[in-house]
C-alpha cells in the first residue's frame, strides 16, 4: 500500500476525530483530563477537515505548489523541431470491464495530459514523443499505449512515438526518459504533466541529469467568489489530498 494512502488527510482526520471521541468520556481525575484532550483532538480534526474542504483553502494550496504555464517559443527558438523531444508522463488507467478501448479508460489527469501533449506538439513540433510510465496492475504497455493511441487519433504520427513502459513512479519516469532522450540526441526536452505534479517531476529530471522545459496541464483556477468559496466540498478536499500526495512525493530520496 502506498504511504500516501496512510497519510491521506481524510483518513488521518477521521482517525483523529474517532480517537478524540473515544477519549472524551469521563468527568473526574485522570479521566477528566483525558476527556479534555479527547474533545480538543476531535474538535481540531473537525476544524482541519472543514478547512481542507473549503474551495478557497484547497485552491490556494494547489496554486502555491503548482507550476504555472509558460510560453515555450523563446526557449525552443533556435532548436530544429527534429532535435526536440516531448516527454509525456502517464497518470492512470481503469480496469477493462465492458470491452472499452484503453484510450477511453485513462484517468481524467491522463486525458488532460494527452490533450495538452497534442496541443504542444502541434504548436512547436518535435522529432519524438516519449510516453513514460506503466500501471503495475495492468499489462506493461497498456497505460502508455492507451495514450499513444489517443495521440495518434489526434494527429501525432505513430512513428514519432516512443513508449517507455518500465517506470512505476516519477523518479523512474525521469531516469528512463532521460536515457531515451539522450539516445535520440535531443537538444531540447519538454515535459508534459499536471501542473500540481510538475514541481516534483522537474526535480526528478534534474536529478536524472536532463534539462527539461515544463508544459504544465490544468493550472488551478481561482476559487469562486462570495460565500461559495467557504462552503466545504468533496472536490476541494480531493484537491487538498493531491497537495499532500505531492508533498509526500517530494520527500522521496
Q: For the chain, what are the domain ranges?
A: 3-64+227-249, 69-217
pLDDT at 103 over 60: yes
Asked if 169 and 3 count as a contact pair (C-beta separation under 8 A), the reply is: no
Per-residue pLDDT of 6-20, as tens digits, reads 677 878 888 888 888
Spatial distance between the Cα atoms of 139 and 238, rounded to a whole number of angstroms: 28
Average pLDDT value for the chain: 90
pLDDT of amino acid 36: 83
CATH topology of domain 69-217: Rossmann fold (3.40.50)
pLDDT band at 29 (very low <50, low <70, confident <90, very high): low
For residues 167 and 20, give the distance between their C-alpha atoms in angstroms, rounded to a whole number.
41
Top mean pLDDT of 11-20, 33-42, 84-93, 219-228 is at 84-93
Closest CA to 240 of 110, 28, 49: 49
pLDDT digits (tens, 9 = 90+) for 49-101: 999 999 999 999 999 999 999 999 999 999 999 999 999 999 989 888 788 88
- Note the pLDDT of residue 4: 56
Question: Does 245 or 120 have the greater pLDDT score?
Answer: 120
The model's pTM is: 0.87
With b for 16 or more beta-carbon neighbours within 10 A and e for fewer, the 94-133 pattern comes to eeeeeeeebbebbeebbbbbbebbbebbeebebbbbbbbb
Beta-carbon contacts of residue 173 (< 8 Å; ≥ 6 apart): 87, 89, 132, 133, 164, 167, 201, 204
Strand arrangement, sheet containing 212-217: 161-164, 128-132, 84-89, 188-194, 212-217
Lowest mean pLDDT among 115-124, 133-142, 149-158, 216-225: 216-225
Amino acid at each position: 500500500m502506498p504511504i500516501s494512502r496512510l497519510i491521506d488527510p481524510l483518513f488521518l482526520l477521521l482517525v483523529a476525530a474517532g480517537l478524540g471521541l473515544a477519549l472524551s468520556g469521563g468527568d473526574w481525575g485522570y479521566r477528566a483530563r483525558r476527556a479534555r484532550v479527547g474533545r480538543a483532538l476531535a474538535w481540531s480534526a473537525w476544524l482541519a477537515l472543514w478547512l481542507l474542504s473549503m474551495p478557497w483553502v484547497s485552491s490556494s494550496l494547489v496554486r502555491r505548489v503548482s507550476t504555472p504555464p509558460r510560453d515555450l517559443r523563446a526557449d525552443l527558438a533556435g532548436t530544429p523541431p527534429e532535435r526536440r523531444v516531448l516527454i509525456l508522463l502517464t497518470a492512470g488507467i481503469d480496469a477493462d470491464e465492458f470491452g472499452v478501448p484503453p484510450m477511453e479508460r485513462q484517468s481524467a489527469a491522463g486525458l488532460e495530459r494527452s490533450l495538452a501533449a497534442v496541443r504542444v506538439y502541434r504548436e512547436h513540433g518535435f522529432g519524438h514523443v516519449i510516453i513514460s510510465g506503466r500501471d503495475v496492475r495492468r499489462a506493461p504497455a497498456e497505460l502508455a499505449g492507451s495514450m499513444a493511441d489517443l495521440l495518434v487519433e489526434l494527429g501525432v504520427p505513430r512513428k514519432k512515438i516512443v513508449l517507455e513502459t518500465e517506470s512505476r513512479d516519477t523518479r523512474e519516469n525521469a531516469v528512463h526518459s532521460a536515457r531515451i532522450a539522450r539516445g535520440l540526441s535531443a537538444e531540447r526536452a519538454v515535459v508534459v504533466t499536471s501542473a500540481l505534479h510538475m514541481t516534483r517531476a522537474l526535480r526528478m529530471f534534474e536529478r536524472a541529469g536532463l534539462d527539461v522545459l515544463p508544459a504544465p496541464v490544468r493550472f488551478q483556477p481561482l476559487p469562486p467568489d462570495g460565500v461559495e468559496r467557504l462552503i466545504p466540498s468533496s472536490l476541494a478536499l480531493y484537491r487538498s489530498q493531491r497537495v499532500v500526495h505531492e508533498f509526500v512525493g517530494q520527500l522521496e530520496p
